[in-house]
Chains A and B, each alone.
Chain A
Amino acid sequence: MNPKEKKTIQIDEKELVRLAQSGDFKAFTTLIEGYRPKIFGLALKLAKNREDAEDIFQETFLKAIDNIKKFRAESSFGTWLYTIGVNVVRAKYGRDSKGELLPLEDYLPASHDHSDAAAAQLYDWNDPLSKLTNEEIKGKLDKAIHELPLKYRLPFLLRYTQEMSVQEVADTLNIKLANAKSRILRARMALRQNLNEYFSEDN
């Protein structure tokens, strides 16, 4: 997107927000249009089951209506909308998701430095389909994602399913950039480790 196009979109968004805040329903539905499938995809990955996913999805947009008048253009409309979604998820799962992940070093193979023993614990994933179908692996991955504590699950999914930058993840979750970065990496390592076990079965 060239800078000029981007500017036009920003102006349109501002104008749509202004119209929505003054009661224009059509402007509001235009604003959320593109976010609906994305937020549903996110909710499906985040939630423990289909019913919860639909709840989170609908509640996010209903809460956006409740709060649209309070929206001040300090952030983009998208970031604001995701923040609402995150609050919906935290209200739903916050209490039963207090777990922690291991420190980063623990996700490295036992002796990651150059020794022959270490090699046995890393497997070549380039050939995963010889053992498991892609669907099976995705099922395992979804299960592993659901097992991540919420504070890791959220940043990981915002980063890699919504294609946010690390800065946007930090802004959306209202955490420091360094924390966002570290949580995304630890989630990724934890998931990698979890899947790694499946590739080792025949070794």
Chain B
Amino acid sequence: MGRCDDLIGNLSDFIDGELDAETCSELEKHLAGCKNCRLMVDSMKMTVKLCRDGVQEELPPSLKKRLDKKLAERWKKQFGHL
């Protein structure tokens, strides 16, 4: 697995740490000697990191309130009671 194109299919698994040990060490060997692939790997890592960092993790209280009200209404409609 010397060529850059050969490793591309495994790139995501490699970055996400889900590659088997043997393929992983082959890939690392390639990366050590190939700047292009290193830049590719780094920028793909950064892409996901930026995406994860940008996820909102809190529910706005006003939206929560609206949802609670709607859920209760729908439940009553479906089950006849709360």
Contacts and interface: CB of A to CB of B under 8 A. Distances in A.
Interface of A: 23, 25, 28-29, 36-38, 40-42, 44-45, 54, 57-58, 61-62, 65-66, 104-105, 108-109, 112-114, 118-119, 122-126, 128, 134, 137-138, 141-142, 145, 157, 160-161, 181, 184-185, 188-189, 191-192, 195-196, 199
A-B pairs, 5 with minimum CB distance = A122-B39, A23-B79, A125-B43, A138-B54, A185-B12
B4 A62 contact: no
Given A23-B79, A37-B59, A44-B56, A113 B3 contact: yes
A195 B36 contact: no
Interface residues of B, number: 44
Interface of B: 3-5, 8-9, 11-12, 34-37, 39-40, 42-44, 46-48, 50-59, 63-64, 66-68, 70-72, 74-75, 78-82
A181 B12 contact: yes
B34 A114 contact: yes
A70 B69 CA distance: 23
B51 A40 contact: no
B56 A41 contact: yes
A191 B44 CA distance: 9
Contacts of B9: 104, 185
Contacts of B63: 40, 54, 57
A63 to B, nearest CB: 9
A122 B43 contact: yes
A57 B66 CA distance: 11
Contact of B57 (A41, A124, A128, A189): A41
